[in-house]
Amino acid sequence: MTERCTSEPRYLRVRRYGSALFHNAIVGAFDSLPKGVRERLDHVDFLCGVDPVWAGLTSIETSDDGRSLRDIAYCDYLYTQKHLPADRRRTTIVLPTECAANVWTIRHELGHALHEILGWFGPVKPITEYARTNAYEAFAEAFCAWREPGYCGRDLRSADSRADALFATLS
């Protein structure tokens, strides 16, 4: 069951993040987003300071590019949680260590969550070198570039006007 703090804005859930560092970074990332986007991401969960494989959240142990999911920040999508009962599946942003407790990392991961929520919108043109990794990273990086004009030195509106327009309609 999700508790809500009635004195806070609607999107601020009462959650236990393990440390103020995680809490402040997550709140900072949400605060950097327009209301319409925040509301779409409101149901996303966070797993902080815990190995997600040990916790049983994910059924896979490595990312598409071969990195261990035990110690990198990532978004655990619903389709990777088929080993869990349906009522326990929840899009979850995993922040295994405090290295990931910063607004920039969390905003990138929220971009991944939004991608899933929007039904895998695409294709999105890669705006950074990392965005060339795959369609998932292209979307998350475009999302970051949209929120932070100086993110990669390129303007999303001119790089991918379709993605820019999508984000604008969500605001």
Chain contacts with Zn ion (rule: CB under 5 A): 137, 140
- Considering the complex, state which of residue 35 and residue 79 has its C-beta at the smaller distance from Zn ion: 79
**Shortest CA distance to 151 belongs to which of 108, 101, 115, 89?**
108
Q: How far is the CB of 6 from Zn ion (least distance, A)?
A: 34
> In this chain, which residue has its C-beta nearest to Zn ion?
140
Report residue 62: phi and psi, to 5°: -130, 150
**Shortest CA distance to 50 belongs to which of 67, 65, 71, 32?**
71
Q: How far is the CB of 31 from Zn ion (least distance, A)?
A: 21
Neighbours of 77 (CB within 10 A): 17
56: Cβ–Cβ under 8 A, 6 or more apart, which residues? 84
Q: How far is the CB of 109 from Zn ion (least distance, A)?
A: 7
- Considering the complex, state which of residue 17 and residue 137 has its C-beta at the smaller distance from Zn ion: 137
Q: How far is the CB of 137 from Zn ion (least distance, A)?
A: 5
- Considering the complex, state which of residue 27 and residue 72 has its C-beta at the smaller distance from Zn ion: 72
Helical residues (DSSP H) of the chain, grouped into ranges: 20-31, 35-40, 103-117, 135-147, 156-159, 161-170
- Considering the complex, state which of residue 141 and residue 159 has its C-beta at the smaller distance from Zn ion: 141
Helical residues (DSSP H) of 32-91, grouped into ranges: 35-40
Q: How far is the CB of 39 from Zn ion (least distance, A)?
A: 22
